[in-house]
Structures are given as C-alpha cells and as structure tokens.
C-alpha cells in the first residue's frame, strides 16, 4: 500500500524523501544510543564501583574501571563486619518467596470464586475489592503498625508476609484471567462428581498457569524491593530485609561506599535473573492496568 503510493511520486520528491528518511533514522539511533548510555551508566558505575577501594570512589579523576580492583568490599560484606548482609539477603528471599506463595493462594481462590460462581452480594463485594485498589497504603501505615505492636508481630516476618498477602490487585488479576476458563469443562467435571475444591485445583489452577506466573513475578519484585513497611516493623539488624540493612549502612558509614555498592549490586542480581528469564511475559503484562483503566 505504502510502496504503491511512493511509486506515484515524482522521482526527485522520492529521492529527497529517502534522504530525509535516512537522516531521521540516523537521528533516531543516535538518540536511542545516547539514552541507553544515560540509563546504563549508573548501573555500570554501581557494578564497577563495588570492586573499588573507598578512596578510589572518592578521588579524581573518576573512572569506570577500578584502578586497584579489589574483592575486599565483598569479603567484608560476607563476613558481616558492618551488617549481617548474608542474613539480611536471606531474610529478603524468605519474605519475598513466602509472600508470593501466599498471595498466589489467596488471589487464585478469591479470583476463582468471583469468576465461576453466582451468589448473593457478588456485585457489591466485587466493587469493594475494586475500591480497595485506589487506597494508598500510607492511610493504614500507623494503625497497622499499632496493630503489629499489640499482637506482638513487631520484628517478625509475619508482619510483612501476612498483611502483604491480601492483594486486591492480585485477586482482581486472577479473576480476570479465570473468567476465560470454559464453563463446559467445569460443568462436565461437576457431573462426573468432582468436588468444588477439586474443580478449582485440577481445572481452574492449571488453566491459569500463565496468569499465576505473571502475578508471581510482580509480587516477588514488589516484596523484594519494598522499603517503607519493613523499615517500620523490623527492629533488629538480624531481622532486617536487605533494603533496610543497606539503608543503615548508608546512614552510618558514608565512607563504606564500596561495600554499599557491593550489597546493592548483589541485591539487584535476583531481579536481573527474573527480568531476563521472564522478559516477554513481563513486558506484555505490565501494561494491563493501563489498558483496563
């Protein structure tokens, strides 16, 4: 269609058209390359900085390549000379994995209930679920903290995992995808004598595998990167998740920047793995909210 139109144009116009296109293409690639360098440089600087002596991070001229490459930052991070980093890293892993599994369980049962059953009050209850999506977490920050104090969950992982598993977004997300499960299949299973739980477990869940893995990635990333709530409820260095631990290192030892960068880089590795393994699924699904909105 376009090529046909171009053929209709006079040769001179076509030539200048091509020339213009060429310049434009070049500009686009140059722009993208500059953008990529600006986005990538801070990451690279973090990575190479983790192999620098502190004195080299804060000296002229700045270099991306370490002048005196050293593993000292990592060694001292691992033997816990300033913060119990390995423990904090493991805490983050435990909290994020538990929260992900529990969220998947809650979201898929609730999603199935809303997608495949008719019951009194369904509309109202679903609207309540949707309305919850619009409330900012800060609204409940103080009262939720006071609750954690009174049920003695302060400085425990429960304080993060359990409230974190109640995800209105997750329930909504699973409901949307479980709507697609064919009713014929559900009815057939019911006639064959399958229980409601059996139908959910053997038909609903397997059919929603794709949505479950997307939700798992989103919840894991959110939990792994979270700072505010863990900062509020965790009190001792042994219980900290890594963002809280690194933040204490920033606050106390500005000079220990090599170590801070090493910790920051290691904490980014799991994200990198997930990102590369699940890139297509991630990119296709992150915009779900926007399209629905």
Partner 1 sequence: MAKWRRRITPYLFISPFFIGYTIFFLYPVLRAIYLSLFQQVGIGSEPKFVGLNNYFNLLTDSTFLKALLNTTYYAAGSIFLIAPLALVLALVLTTRNLYGREFFRLFFFSPNITAGVVVGIIFTLVFSAEYGLLNNYILKPFGLPAIRWLQDPAWVMPAIIILGIWRFTGINALYFMSGLQNIPAEIREAASIDGANRWQVFRFVTLPLLRPITVFVLTFAIIGSYNLFAEPSILVGVQGGPNNAGLFMTMYLYLNGFRFMKFSYAATIGVALAVIVLLLTLIQLRLLGVFRED
Question: Binders of partner 1 among 39-68, rule CB under 8 A?
Answer: 39-43, 45-46, 49, 57-62
Is residue 130 a contact partner of residue 195, using CB atoms and an 8 Å limit?
no
Contact 243, 226 (CB under 8 A): yes
Residue 293 interacting with partner 1 (CB under 8 A): yes
Query: Is residue 4 a contact point for partner 1 (CB under 8 A)?
Result: no
- Least separation in angstroms between residue 275's CB and partner 1 is 6
Which of residues 168, 189, 207, 237 is near partner 1 by CB under 8 A? 168
| Contact call for residue 19 and partner 1 (CB under 8 A) | no
Element (H or E) spanning 173, and its range?
helix 168-178
Contact status, residue 111 vs residue 177, Cβ threshold 8 Å: yes
Contact 257, 54 (CB under 8 A): yes
The binder of partner 1 chosen from 22, 35, 182, 206 (CB under 8 A): 35
Q: Does residue number 124 form part of the binding site for partner 1 (CB under 8 A)?
A: no
Q: Which stretch binds partner 1 (CB under 8 A): 74-82, 83-91, 160-168, 207-215?
A: 160-168
Q: Note whether 134 binds partner 1 by CB under 8 A.
A: yes
**Cα separation, 125 vs 130, whole angstroms:** 9
Residue selected from 74, 169, 224, 240 as contacting partner 1 according to rule CB under 8 A: 224
What one-character-per-residue DSSP string does 70-95 give?
-SHHHHHHHTTSSS-HHHHHHHHHHH
Residue 193 as a binder of partner 1 (CB under 8 A): the answer is: no
Output 86 or 144, the one with its CB closest to partner 1.
Answer: 144
CB atoms within 10 A of CB 230: 24
Which of 38, 65, 124, 191 forms a contact with partner 1 (CB under 8 A)?
Answer: 38
- Binding partner 1 (rule: CB under 8 A), the pick from 127, 188, 250, 281 is 250
Contact 56, 122 (CB under 8 A): no
Binders of partner 1 in range 64-103 (CB under 8 A): none
Q: How far apart are CA 49 and CA 67, in angstroms?
A: 10
- For residue 119, CA distances in Å to 112, 113, 114, 125 come to 13, 9, 9, 10
What DSSP state is assigned to residue 117? Answer: -
Q: How far apart are CA 64 and CA 158, in angstroms?
A: 42
* Binding footprint of partner 1, residue count (CB under 8 A): 90
By CB under 8 A, is residue 191 in contact with partner 1?
A: no
Task: Indicate whether 171 belongs to the interface with partner 1 (CB under 8 A).
Answer: yes
In the complex, what is the shortest distance from the CB of residue 44 to partner 1, in angstroms, rounded to a whole number? 10
Among 23, 180, 271, 273, binds partner 1 (CB under 8 A): 271
Distance separating alpha carbons of residues 279 and 221, to the nearest angstrom = 13
Q: Half-sphere exposure (CA, 13 Å, Cβ side) for 153?
A: 17
Task: Report in angstroms how near the CB of residue 162 gets to partner 1 at its nearest.
Answer: 7
When the beta carbons of 13 and 36 are compared against partner 1, the nearer one is 36
């Amino acid at each position: 269609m376009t090529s046909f139109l171009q053929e209709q144009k006079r040769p001179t116009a076509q030539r200048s058209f091509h020339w213009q296109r060429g310049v434009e293409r070049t500009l686009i690639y140059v722009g993208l390359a500059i953008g990529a360098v600006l986005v990538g440089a801070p990451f690279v600087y973090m990575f190479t900085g983790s192999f620098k002596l502190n004195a080299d991070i804060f000296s002229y001229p700045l270099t991306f390549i370490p002048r005196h490459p050293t593993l000292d930052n990592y060694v001292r991070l691992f033997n816990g000379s300033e913060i119990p980093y390995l423990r904090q890293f493991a805490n983050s892993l435990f909290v994020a994995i538990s929260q992900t599994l529990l969220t998947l369980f809650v979201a898929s049962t609730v999603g199935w209930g809303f997608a495949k059953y008719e019951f009194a009050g369904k509309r109202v209850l679903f609207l309540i679920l949707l309305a919850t999506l619009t409330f900012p977490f800060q609204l409940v920050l103080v009262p939720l903290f006071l609750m954690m104090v009174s049920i003695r969950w302060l400085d425990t992982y429960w304080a993060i995992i359990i409230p974190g598993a109640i995800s209105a977004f997750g329930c909504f997300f699973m409901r949307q995808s479980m709507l697609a499960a064919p009713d014929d299949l559900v009815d057939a299973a019911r006639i064959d004598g399958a229980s409601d739980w059996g139908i959910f477990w053997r038909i609903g869940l397997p059919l929603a595998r794709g949505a479950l893995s997307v939700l798992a990635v989103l919840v894991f990333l959110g939990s792994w990167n979270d700072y505010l709530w863990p900062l509020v409820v965790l009190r001792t260095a042994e219980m900290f998740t890594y963002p809280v631990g690194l933040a204490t290192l920033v606050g106390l030892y500005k000079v220990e920047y090599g170590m801070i960068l090493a910790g920051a880089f290691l904490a980014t590795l799991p994200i990198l793995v997930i990102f590369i393994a699940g890139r297509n699924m991630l990119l296709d699904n992150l915009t779900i909210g926007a399209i629905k909105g």
